[in-house]
A and B are shown apart, each in its own frame.
Chain A
Amino acid sequence: MAEARRVLIVGAGPAGVAAAAVLAAHRQRPFLIDEGHAPGGQVYRRASAPVALDIKALFGSQVGKYERLHATFAGLAGSVEHRPRTLAWAVHERAVHTLAEGKAEVHPYDALILATGATDRLLPVPGWTLPGAYALGGAQTLLKDQGCLIGRRVVFCGSSPLLHLVALQYQAAGGEVAAVVDTTTTGAKLAAAPVLAANGFATLLRGLSYMAALRCKGVRIHHGTRLVAIEGETHVTGLRFRDRRGNEHRVEADAVAIGFGLRAETQLAELGGARLRYDSVFRQWLPDVDADGRCAPGLYAAGDGCAIGGADAAEESGQLAAYAALADLGIAAPNARMARLRAHVARLRRFQRGLAKAFDWPHSWPMDMPDQVILCRCENVTLGEVRATLREDIPPADVNRAKAFTRCGMGRCQGRFCGLALGELMAAETGTAHERTGWLRAQAPVKPVPVSTAFPS
């Protein structure tokens, strides 16, 4: 018998776990690398703190999916080599470089499935670096992972269907919801409704039910707003915003959850040889993949790190990527099933593209924000400093040059939270097409690796 093939998966969210299950069912023994302490990713995260969470109350109608993921994983015991709390910090010459507990390892692969997920997508707003201001998805993660709230009285703002869900979860957990301040207009949501209804009617109804439930509980939901500032000197004291008529309002709060949809984690794919393509709906650069997730020889991408699609699309695209990897290794994959999966993933992703329009990313905002607002949280670079660079005789031609000139995007987060806004600022200020400002090229290590790390010789 031929030597066993090495199939690696990075990420144990719905995409990674689904891929592992397919591979195990085909008598492969996948090697599953994950930064989390347990599988689940962000969406089905199991608490790492010793807390008594009411999973049914927290996950509501999605509790079955949460339980299924964890049951699937439990059923894989012995057929998957699981490496939790392990950072994959580079992909180089068909090997994944990892770090766990101070020790680095190198894992060569015949096939690598990247299920790296996404983070919150952010825009700079005055005061967004204050203690008490948190990313929206992070606010939810703190509840799922630690049984904690980001504050006592929280305002939820930005543009995302998650605004309403997390606000409800906070209220159910005993938090006070000061308001939901949604930057998208009701008109944009109505315009997107037909696409949403055609591609995910049940999901659309679920989203509407969250909004209705919030209203029932007396929470004010403002649509079509502009965020003016997160207020406070040393910590958050409130949020100022303008309503759609231009009238200014102030909401008192000791915490703000802010988010504008999701941003794909594409660094490892890029390091592994994937080409990135510009997506004009999500306004970000995503791995250029075929219908099954192939992006380079032996390299596959699935889930939100491949194309923002949500948890259900992640699960099915993870299965597809695993079947594609098997087929490329010469192991027969079920064609009819793959065809059904492709059609369904495409439909789920159409739904997400509709959502991206219903909850629009206000991409020109950085242009209207004052000079002193911090754009790069890590390196403390302001919008004004980037603007000054853009006015030089020879201005930077793309975001990588702007990074070199200003250090914006050069810090510890590697541009995860400023990179997209940097490109939007450059495009808006110089009249360049956003696509032409490019993306911040991935650099290894994709997250900090201490110099005290024990590297293999």
Chain B
Amino acid sequence: MSEAPRGQVVRVKRRHAPLVVIEIDGEQVEAFAGESVLVAVLAHRPALRHLEFSGEPRAGFCLMGACQDCWVEIEGVGGARACTTPVSAGLRVSTGWPRFG
């Protein structure tokens, strides 16, 4: 349990949507169209973002759009709440600094 998990969240239910390719910090990964950006990122990564003040990792908290602790940068959109934003093909997400150039 001391090693960082590769991903934090676990998909346990069958998906009935196509796999699409998205980019997380420049890395291409597969995700299911229509699932949340939070799930798409946290299925691969242990964190979603880094706190503006201390840089410590955060991975969301309330999971229902209230705490605003899952904000990520989405190219062409800007800051977005990962837990309520659906995935679409070609989506590019940044989980920390530096942002997109």
Select A235's contact among B4, B62, B63, B86, beta carbons within 8 Å: B4
A191-217 at interface with B (beta carbon < 8 Å): none
Provide the bound-state CA to CA distance between A450 and B74, in Å.
14
Closest to A450 in B: B78
Report the interface size class on chain A: 35 or more
Given contacts A234-B46, A234-B57, contact A51 B15 (CB under 8 A): yes
Check B56 for interface membership: any CB of A closer than 8 A.
yes
Contact, CB under 8 Å: A137 / B64? yes
Contact, CB under 8 Å: A138 / B4? no
Which residues from B are CB-within-8-Å of A413?
66-69
Closest to A170 in B: B12
Which residues from B are CB-within-8-Å of A328?
none
Provide the bound-state CA to CA distance between A387 and B66, in Å.
26
Check A12 for interface membership: any CB of B closer than 8 A.
no
Contact, CB under 8 Å: B10 / A49? no
Which residues from B are CB-within-8-Å of A49?
15, 17, 32, 34-36, 39, 86
Closest to A53 in B: B13
Given contacts A50-B34, A238-B1, contact A131 B16 (CB under 8 A): no
Select A141's contact among B14, B51, B57, B64, beta carbons within 8 Å: B64
Tell me the smallest distance from the CB of A192 to a CB of chain B, in Å. Answer: 27
Given contacts A132-B59, A413-B67, contact A52 B14 (CB under 8 A): yes
Given contacts A148-B12, A173-B13, A237-B1, contact A119 B64 (CB under 8 A): yes
Closest to A131 in B: B59
Tell me the smallest distance from the CB of A247 to a CB of chain B, in Å. Answer: 22
Closest to B49 in A: A131
Provide the bound-state CA to CA distance between A119 and B32, in Å.
28
Select B14's contact among A48, A51, A132, A412, beta carbons within 8 Å: A51
Closest to A259 in B: B62
Check A385 for interface membership: any CB of B closer than 8 A.
no
Contact, CB under 8 Å: A48 / B36? yes
Contact, CB under 8 Å: A148 / B78? no
Given contacts A131-B59, A417-B61, contact A151 B66 (CB under 8 A): no
Provide the bound-state CA to CA distance between A234 and B48, in Å.
12
Check B44 for interface membership: any CB of A closer than 8 A.
no
Which residues from B are CB-within-8-Å of A269?
none
Tell me the smallest distance from the CB of A322 to a CB of chain B, in Å. Answer: 25
The 8 A CB mask of A109-129 against B (1 = contact, 0 = none) is: 000000000011000000001
Provide the bound-state CA to CA distance between A392 and B77, in Å.
44
Tell me the smallest distance from the CB of A103 to a CB of chain B, in Å. Answer: 14
Given contacts A50-B15, A51-B16, A235-B47, contact A138 B63 (CB under 8 A): yes
Given contacts A131-B57, A134-B60, contact A235 B10 (CB under 8 A): no
Provide the bound-state CA to CA distance between A120 and B84, in Å.
17
Provide the bound-state CA to CA distance between A5 and B29, in Å.
51
Contact, CB under 8 Å: A377 / B67? yes
Select B4's contact among A48, A147, A234, beta carbons within 8 Å: A234
Which residues from A are CB-within-8-Å of B2?
237
Which residues from A are CB-within-8-Å of B16?
50-52
Check A175 for interface membership: any CB of B closer than 8 A.
yes
Contact, CB under 8 Å: A50 / B69? no
**Of listed B8, B17, B51, residue having the most chain A CB within 10 A:** B8
Contact, CB under 8 Å: B39 / A146? yes
Given contacts A131-B46, A131-B59, A235-B57, contact A173 B12 (CB under 8 A): yes
Contact, CB under 8 Å: A151 / B36? no
Check A447 for interface membership: any CB of B closer than 8 A.
yes
Contact, CB under 8 Å: B35 / A50? yes
Which residues from B are CB-within-8-Å of A119?
62, 64, 66-67
Contact, CB under 8 Å: A152 / B10? yes
Select A148's contact among B11, B56, B84, beta carbons within 8 Å: B11
Q: A-B pairs with the 7 shortest C-beta distances?
A: A147-B13, A138-B63, A131-B59, A50-B17, A412-B68, A49-B35, A380-B53
* Cross-chain pairs A/B with CB under 8 angstroms, 27 sampled: A35-B65, A48-B34, A49-B34, A52-B15, A52-B16, A129-B58, A131-B8, A131-B46, A131-B58, A134-B61, A135-B61, A135-B67, A141-B64, A147-B15, A148-B10, A149-B12, A150-B8, A175-B12, A235-B4, A235-B46, A238-B1, A378-B67, A413-B66, A416-B67, A417-B61, A447-B65, A450-B79
